Amino acid sequence: MTAPQKWSMSLTGQPAGGRPVTVRADLPEWAYAAALAGLPYMAWDRLAALLAGRAPSAAWAHVGRGGAGPALARSAAAVSVPELVDAHRRAGVVVSLHGGEGYPAALAGDHEPAPVLFALGDPAAAAGPRVAVVGTRRCTGYGRDVAAELGRDLARAGVAVVSGLALGVDGAAHRGALGAGGAPPVAVVGSGLDVVYPRRHRDLWHQVAAAGLVLSEAPLGGRPEPWRFPARNRLLAALAHVVVVVETHASGGSMHTVRAAEARGVPVLAVPGPVRSPASAGANRLIAEGCAPACDSTDVLVALSLQTAGSPPASRPSAGAPDHRPPPSAGELPVLDALGWEAATVETLLQRTGLGPAAVTLALARLEEAGRARRTGGWWERVGGPGGPR
């Protein structure tokens, strides 16, 4: 958590029929944002409106004066902000404000950003390539197996698996990722980070937090109310470079994530399923509507390569200039060497390296992100020039 910010004055709000709501100069701004987020029915858009043009402390005083209605003022009067600060610190929960220090870069530019985020784990887990694996809670054995395999194979390939820690597909994908010992998993949940939901995922919840990152818009004590989950799903889509739907019923909750991904230009893939299985009805419909099928992790990694190749390239050093780019990893080096200094297709690189499509496409995506390779049409080219940095 960021260090407490000092302010030159204290503000006091006086709710009708209640005790004053006081803003203390020795408390950090995130504390007042957390307090606001914990008020009844404080959806992200309502919170964003309260914080528009105001510091969180000023917004808290505004609510305390009845500026957002007497009911909210009475609720605020019952909150002890210092106790809230102590509770979050004891729980190890880091609080970040949109536009502030520690806020995940992957979410900062979203058109529907979370005004405040609560986190357990390592924020760096959300820094690399990310694929959201989503689906129904009422999945079949087929769906559970496919989700676990995708989670495992993507994590082994260095891709963070993003999901919602729900029953069914979400949990299977995260178990697969954890078992791979690869890229750390990332979860976005619909309750406070001390309110495990569903309860049977308590161990999985703690394992994901220990190995990766768990995010929420809800402060400590936030209940898993139904309205929180569609909002949670927009963050899943915003975090992902690619969304994969394993199994979903025709009108399942995963469709919220699909629509949110489409609104953000995030590619959506769907796992084909048995035509007589209601659990696959939504995924099969997505394929019929034009979504690419995901038959295995290779399909996902190819889509991920295409998506990350469209990202703004890193700075490209000229020949003889100091190279500040990260060195190529052991998985990237054979592809970089095979690329040489002449343009080549993916098929050519497959032949030169003897690697599989998944390994080559993921290495190219990472080399592109590091500014060591670029895509031009159907060709890949090395960046830096023959006399430049490797």
Q: What is the pLDDT of residues 55-109, one digit of tens each?
A: 999 999 999 999 889 999 999 999 999 999 999 999 999 999 998 988 998 899 9
Q: How far apart are CA 176 and CA 153, in angstroms?
A: 8
CB 97 within 8 A of CB 115: yes
pLDDT score for 12: 47
Q: d(Cα 372, Cα 113) in Å, to the nearest integer?
A: 31
Cα dihedral 108, 112, 118, 119, rounded to 10, equals -50
Walk me through the domains of the chain, giving residue ranges and CATH numbers: 13-89 (no CATH), 121-307 (3.40.50.450), 313-319+326-382 (1.10.10.10)
| Distance (Å, whole) CA 380 – CA 120 | 39
pLDDT, residue 378, reads 61
Q: What is the pLDDT of residues 121-158, one digit of tens each?
A: 999 999 889 999 999 999 999 999 999 999 999 999 88
- The one-character DSSP state at 344 is B
Residue corresponding to tokens 């404000």: 97
Q: What is the pLDDT, as a whole number, of residue 339?
A: 85
What pLDDT is stored for residue 346 in this prediction? Answer: 77
pLDDT at site 387: 39
Query: What pLDDT, on the 0 to 100 scale, is given for residue 3?
Result: 39
Q: Please report the pLDDT score of residue 319 as a whole number.
A: 42
pTM for this one?
A: 0.76
Best CA proximity match to 137, nearest among 230, 229, 225, 247? 247
Instruction: Please say whether the beta carbons of 336 and 370 come within 8 A.
Output: no
Contact of 104 with 123, CB cutoff 8 Å: yes
pLDDT of the residue at 43: 92
Residue-level length of the chain: 390
Question: Which portions of the chain are predicted below pLDDT 50?
Answer: 1-12, 14-17, 310-321, 386-390
Nearest to 158 by CA among 119, 205, 188, 125: 125
